[in-house]
């Protein structure tokens, strides 16, 4: 237990006048009544009336924690009792005397479960390095610094058991932008909340502000939206209104909603928004009245409208889905049919890199796929020699995103 910090004690005494009540700590100052303190207070403030105590400037404070109540304290007495409870004092100071944006404060408190766990419980956990929380793929640990100031460390959840020193150590939150740009295989991550955050790094010695900044660079705006949701103020924009808002090359997506149900939006959500693809918890639906049948996910932070990646993909699907189905006839063995299914599954689940070179039992094995191609594709690349037939519109969809990227991406 560290001594209570003088500045914190002073701040506490000053705040007592207004009344302190946080995380089980209650400090009141009943002085000044009857004009003795010369202070300008209104009558009838909390805890003033009906209490049995002596009047007088000297013994006006009450200091109570979960288990103890000390009433009738003078300033020295308050100092003494506070010094015996430095955790409560510094906890109060950390949360109330340091200025923070409300969302950031709520987030930092949520990380240490401050509304549920009492001060001694949290402080012991912090002292022993066992206080941790996760946010998407981030693993945040909270340790006790000087005078109760929290010191945060952030790692990838998969690195939670590795010492920060064994990782690439950072202290500048801005470094997180670069880290969040590529996955472990060096591929660009266009969706920040995809569960592909790379491993191998740690941000250390962060204060609350720096932690919030780091989280903001890795998962932009997630804290702001989470906070809105907590307060019952999340402004969800559903699929229909979002697509109706689009203009330019995305204006076409609105035409995908033909008033014939919303199955296509279920497919989009299943393709892009489930937890295996995106850690945001999808809160948007087809429209206000029409929920989707696909699970929105369990993420801590909400998704309040279809994101730009989904809008872009939807543009491609709008074109592709304008085609009418037709009947093709292919001759395949049962195993070949299953193999095609296995290949689609492997690509959809991002599993192709995990298939072992010589695992010939897996239909999506490269040699198996090459064999199938050698056997069943003709020189034009047509399956079983069956021509696709040119489709109006099918061509335009190819590389559509490339075209839309060129449109202003560099200026």
Q: Is 206 helix (H, G, I), strand (E, B) or coil?
A: strand
DSSP state of 290: B
Shortest Cβ distance from residue 409 to other proteins (Å)? 5
Residue (191 or 332) nearer to other proteins, CB: 191
248 binds, among other proteins, ligand SF4, none (CB under 5 to 8 A by kind): other proteins
Residue (79 or 136) nearer to other proteins, CB: 136
190 binds, among other proteins, ligand SF4, none (CB under 5 to 8 A by kind): other proteins
C-alpha 308/C-alpha 196 separation (Å) is 18
Other residues' Cβ atoms within 10 Å of the Cβ of residue 274: 14
117 binds, among other proteins, ligand SF4, none (CB under 5 to 8 A by kind): none
C-alpha 246/C-alpha 306 separation (Å) is 11
C-alpha 228/C-alpha 310 separation (Å) is 23
Reduced 3-state DSSP string for 125-189: HHHCCCCEEEECCEEEEEEECHHHCEEEEEEEHHHCCCCHHHCEEECCCCHHHHHCCECCCCCEC
38 binds, among other proteins, ligand SF4, none (CB under 5 to 8 A by kind): none
CB 202 within 8 A of CB 170: yes
Shortest Cβ distance from residue 2 to other proteins (Å)? 31
315 binds, among ligand SF4, other proteins, none (CB under 5 to 8 A by kind): none
Shortest Cβ distance from residue 263 to other proteins (Å)? 25
Give, in degrees to the nearest 5, the angle at Cα 358 between 357 and 361: 115
221 binds, among ligand SF4, other proteins, none (CB under 5 to 8 A by kind): other proteins
Other residues' Cβ atoms within 10 Å of the Cβ of residue 149: 15
Shortest Cβ distance from residue 190 to ligand SF4 (Å)? 10
Shortest Cβ distance from residue 173 to other proteins (Å)? 11
Shortest Cβ distance from residue 136 to ligand SF4 (Å)? 11
Residue (69 or 181) nearer to other proteins, CB: 181
User: Residue 318, CB half-sphere, CA atoms under 13 Å: how many?
Assistant: 19
Residue (281 or 368) nearer to other proteins, CB: 281
- Which residues form the interface with other proteins (CB under 8 A)? 101, 174, 177, 181-182, 188, 190-193, 216, 220-221, 223-225, 228, 235, 245, 247-248, 304-305, 307-309, 312, 401-402, 405-406, 408-411
- Which residues form the interface with ligand SF4 (CB under 6 A)? 191, 193, 272-273, 278, 280, 282, 303, 306-307, 309-310
CB 278 within 8 A of CB 303: yes
Shortest Cβ distance from residue 293 to ligand SF4 (Å)? 15
The string over 237-254, giving b where at least 16 C-beta atoms fall within 10 Å of a residue's C-beta and e elsewhere, is ebbbebbeebeeebeebb
């Amino acid at each position: 237990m560290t001594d209570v910090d003088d500045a914190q004690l002073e701040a506490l005494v000053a705040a007592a006048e207004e009344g302190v009540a946080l995380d089980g700590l209650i400090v009141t100052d009943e002085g000044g009544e009857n004009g003795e303190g010369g202070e300008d207070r209104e009558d009838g403030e909390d805890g003033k009336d009906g209490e049995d105590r002596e009047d007088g400037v000297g013994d006006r404070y009450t200091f109570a924690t979960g288990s103890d109540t000390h009433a009738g304290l003078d300033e020295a007495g308050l100092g003494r009792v506070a010094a015996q409870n430095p955790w409560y004092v510094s906890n109060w100071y950390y949360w109330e005397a340091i200025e923070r944006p409300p969302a950031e404060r709520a987030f930092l408190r949520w990380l240490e479960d401050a509304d549920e766990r009492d001060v001694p419980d949290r402080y012991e956990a912090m002292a022993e390095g066992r206080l941790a929380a996760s946010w998407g793929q981030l693993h945040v640990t909270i340790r006790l610094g000087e005078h109760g100031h929290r010191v945060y460390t952030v790692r990838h959840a998969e690195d939670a058991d590795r010492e920060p020193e064994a990782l690439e150590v950072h202290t500048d939150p801005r470094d997180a932008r670069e880290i969040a740009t590529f996955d472990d295989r060096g591929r660009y991550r266009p969706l920040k909340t995809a569960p592909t955050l790379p491993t191998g790094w740690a941000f250390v010695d962060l204060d609350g502000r720096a932690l919030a900044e780091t989280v903001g660079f890795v998962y932009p705006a997630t804290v702001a939206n989470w906070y809105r949701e907590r307060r019952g103020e999340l402004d969800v924009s559903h699929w229909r209104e979002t697509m109706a808002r689009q203009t330019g090359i995305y204006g076409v997506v609105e035409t995908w909603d033909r008033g014939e149900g919303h199955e296509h939006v279920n497919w989009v959500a299943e393709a892009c928004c489930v937890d295996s693809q995106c850690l945001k918890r999808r809160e948007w639906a087809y429209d206000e009245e029409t929920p989707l049948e696909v699970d929105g996910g369990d993420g801590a932070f909400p998704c309040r409208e279809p994101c730009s990646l989904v809008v872009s993909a939807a543009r491609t699907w709008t074109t592709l889905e304008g085609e009418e189905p037709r009947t093709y006839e292919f001759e395949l063995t049962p195993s070949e049919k299953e193999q095609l299914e296995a290949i689609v599954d492997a690509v959809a689940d991002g599993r192709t890199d995990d298939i072992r070179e010589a695992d010939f039992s897996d239909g999506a094995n490269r040699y198996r796929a090459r064999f199938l191609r050698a056997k069943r594709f003709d020189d034009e690349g047509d399956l079983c020699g069956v021509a696709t037939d040119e489709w109006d519109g099918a061509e335009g969809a190819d590389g559509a995103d490339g075209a839309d990227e060129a449109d202003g991406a560099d200026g």
